[in-house]
Structure 1
């Protein structure tokens, strides 16, 4: 009898990475695979009972375990601290992580003493799918005889950029100069479409340490047994074609949130449960939804310009104002002031059920940071977007939205209330943008449906994992 496939899914412990890798995990469970989803202890405590609620109904094949990240519980774990989190996790989690993969002398299975039944009725771990930002996890797994697959949560075009782009570019250069060295994007990308950490403030500044890490990690992905990307050929065909020869195997299986057999509750922040009722009271396509994601921080001046532009545009709007989003502000006072300034047309919340908001008939456009999860969620629902990117792959994603797919407008490098007002109005009123958004949504939905490119690739991936699992079980005997 063939060994049961049991995949350990290990995301980098921030919201955006957890989201799409949990959708992937639940899709695997739907395909009959056992999955252990690995959180940090800090994040699993934040999720509480909501983590177990993520398991597809009636399935015992998904469980949640945790390892330490080495940081105190009151540490902010903000976007400015990601490099510290990266280093601390690698230093502190290795022992407990290896224990999850190591055969137990008493049970014969790979398990860890993590405060629960070490096996939980699960078969041994036979395959690792780890975030591409965790190369040490790949090395440890392969050393222990567990085949490892890389999962990159960003767009394919950003991965290709980090591998081949001229990074960083010189200080003082023209931001509209074309970027060379990225095949298929020679006439598309400008320097302003690269991640902000590629910009040197002056000639004497060294390369940003985070940029060094990202470039190194992008090159490392090719060493895994395969690379999984949360995308589809309809969105990024050229980038995928240029990435594939650099990998041992490549699977484009997205958008995963549209393929998951059950909605997954992965939010580290409490969602406001009154959003839907408020939207129900608004006219169709009348609401602007504004959210800058789970990590972005902005200045008080930037907040004022964005907020004032939304008010001036004149549409009802739902604004996600995280408690830690605006620098040097008193959270409660700022939220109260925003509610007053927005009047009856504004609803201000700390966090929203974004997928539910985007699919609501009242949703007219999405003012977004253009993170890949948010970009894909808007694409699937056919919602026009206004992009104000912040970091990582967001600059290049926003360029694709505005210049390639033409499903929205790219507002990068501008934070002016008059521009915000004008851009939001155009996104809400442009019939051309809405037609493009809806046409792309229809194509992507075909991709994830039975027989579509992503669905076919996912089936191939499940077979690949089961084959690796059989080999892993033989080696582990």
Structure 2
């Protein structure tokens, strides 16, 4: 299935944005394509490759460990992000982002080296945010595919940014602009339900030098995506039908998700149980989870990147304690700052040792699929949302950054599969323990929570159907590969169907 029509296999270079939330779905996409017969070269930066190596402690290339176990032809390559290995990419994140925007020369050199071998690269599948990779790819005369790691609704918001300007919703007008009580709805973005300004992605809510830079990068990304041969997205039709239909009228988006290991979706390959590209060492909580009643544990994780204040962490800790529910909390060592390691209230662990477990990092899919998990207290990153949906776990939303505010809005008001913590928006107010405790009990131990559980179980079934043979995402994957084969065979480097 993966040949190009001349007997040679298709060879896809896959380049994720070098952060955990982007590397994970793009490795799973690579596994999906390789299982269809494509050769994949997966490109990481030297720094991220070193982190994955340290986290997995294996003698062979850790990026490829899980793919090799499954017999998939995925190869590994690295390029520099332009920074020393010991540069603090968490503390100086925007310096890191600016450096990533200048990786084009390193990518071109790598592509030249790989093309000296057989088979040559047939196409490049790059994270949408790597807009500069389009011009590099086109110099080689091969297709460039943009991969979007967030929901299609968010894609439509950025794609139609000009409408926010023309309706006076950008630039933002300060904190009052985001007030909870502000009755000013954005109802003109194609395929996007009515939202308020506080539900927009963060970089459309605030104006500061970093937001201006990121917004400029995002707009360049969308200009490049308009020139892509295909746009693929980690979502599924049944979840976002209106947004997908709206985009079809302008820039068609192929949904190919949710991109999770097979054992959590179609069960086609029960040995496919992990992605295998974690930047941090994963602790195994199975024994602790096994000791807890069914659907009783609140799982807490705020992702791999964003920082939270010490005061807010302390309120979350006390809210968990006062809820009375068992909790499993992923507390990254750098959650406040890479320079601060102690963030829990004094004696918290001692007083809560029978109620909760706190660890630096966990295998999230394994946790969410455990029968003792009753809810997910999450920052609403898109990977976490889609994983929760695919595994039927209702959510408590605590958005912190980027598109998480929009994801939370969709999760709470459109799909009705979770709650959002009240208060503490962009005016820097802290969400207090009483609200956290109340919301946890509502999610895990109330009739309202049960209704959310029923709705998310129905969406879980749709997600699994999408990835099975004949499902919406599976059909899109197969159509994409067939079209790619035809395009490469014709050899004109652009979509011809």
Structure 1 length-normalised TM: 0.89
Residues 132 and 150 of structure 1 are in contact (CA less than 8 Å); yes or no, is this contact kept in structure 2?
A: yes
Tell me the SS of whatever aligns to 2:69.
coil
Residues 261 and 275 of structure 2 are in contact (CA less than 8 Å); yes or no, is this contact kept in structure 1?
A: no
Shift of 1:74: 1.7
Residues 149 and 224 of structure 1 are in contact (CA less than 8 Å); yes or no, is this contact kept in structure 2?
A: yes
Shift of 1:54: 2.5
Shift of 1:427: 0.8
For residues 329 and 310 of structure 1, do their structure 2 counterparts lie closer, same or farther at Cα, with a shift above 3 Å needed? farther
Counterparts in 2 of 1:121-140, with a 5 A limit? Answer: 122-140=118-136
Which residue pairs with 2:196 in the alignment?
Answer: 190
Shift of 1:332: 5.0
Q: Which runs of 5+ in 1 are unaligned?
A: 112-118
Task: Give the one of 20, 23, 33 matched to 1:15.
Answer: 20
Which residue pairs with 2:331 in the alignment?
Answer: 321
Equivalent-residue separation in structure 1 for 2:283 and 2:79 (angstroms): 29
Which residue pairs with 1:453 in the alignment?
Answer: 472
Task: Give the one of 201, 210, 230 matched to 1:226.
Answer: 230
Shift of 1:334: 4.1
Which residue pairs with 2:427 in the alignment?
Answer: none
Tell me the SS of whatever aligns to 2:78.
strand
Task: Give the one of 360, 368, 376 matched to 1:366.
Answer: 376
Number of residue-to-residue matches in the alignment: 454
Residues 15 and 126 of structure 2 are in contact (CA less than 8 Å); yes or no, is this contact kept in structure 1?
A: yes
Equivalent-residue separation in structure 2 for 1:456 and 1:463 (angstroms): 11
Give the stretch that moved more between structures: 20-29 or 303-312: 303-312
Task: Give the one of 223, 235, 242 matched to 1:238.
Answer: 242
Structure 2 length-normalised TM: 0.86
Shift of 1:211: 2.1
Task: Give the one of 167, 178, 188 matched to 1:181.
Answer: 188
Query: Within the alignment, does 1:84 sit opposite 2:88 as a pair?
Result: no
Shift of 1:198: 2.5
Which residue pairs with 2:153 in the alignment?
Answer: 157
Which residue pairs with 1:114 in the alignment?
Answer: none
Task: Give the one of 458, 474, 479 matched to 1:439.
Answer: 458
Equivalent-residue separation in structure 1 for 2:185 and 2:343 (angstroms): 44
Shift of 1:341: 4.4
Equivalent-residue separation in structure 2 for 1:148 and 1:54 (angstroms): 26
Shift of 1:168: 3.5
Which residue pairs with 1:408 in the alignment?
Answer: 418
Query: Within the alignment, does 1:420 sit opposite 2:436 as a pair?
Result: yes
Residues 126 and 147 of structure 1 are in contact (CA less than 8 Å); yes or no, is this contact kept in structure 2?
A: yes
Residues 374 and 393 of structure 2 are in contact (CA less than 8 Å); yes or no, is this contact kept in structure 1?
A: yes
Q: Which runs of 5+ in 2 are unaligned?
A: 1-5, 165-169, 264-268, 425-430
Residues 395 and 412 of structure 1 are in contact (CA less than 8 Å); yes or no, is this contact kept in structure 2?
A: no
Equivalent-residue separation in structure 2 for 1:225 and 1:17 (angstroms): 20
Counterparts in 2 of 1:5-404, with a 5 A limit? Answer: 5-48=10-53, 49=58, 50-57=62-69, 59=71, 61-78=73-90, 81-91=92-102, 93-102=103-112, 110-111=115-116, 119=117, 122-165=118-161, 166=164, 167-171=170-174, 172-175=176-179, 176=182, 177-185=184-192, 188-200=194-206, 208-247=212-251, 249-259=252-262, 262=272, 263-273=274-284, 275-327=285-337, 330-332=340-342, 334=344, 337-404=347-414
Give the stretch that moved more between structures: 466-475 or 15-24: 466-475
Equivalent-residue separation in structure 1 for 2:158 and 2:111 (angstroms): 31
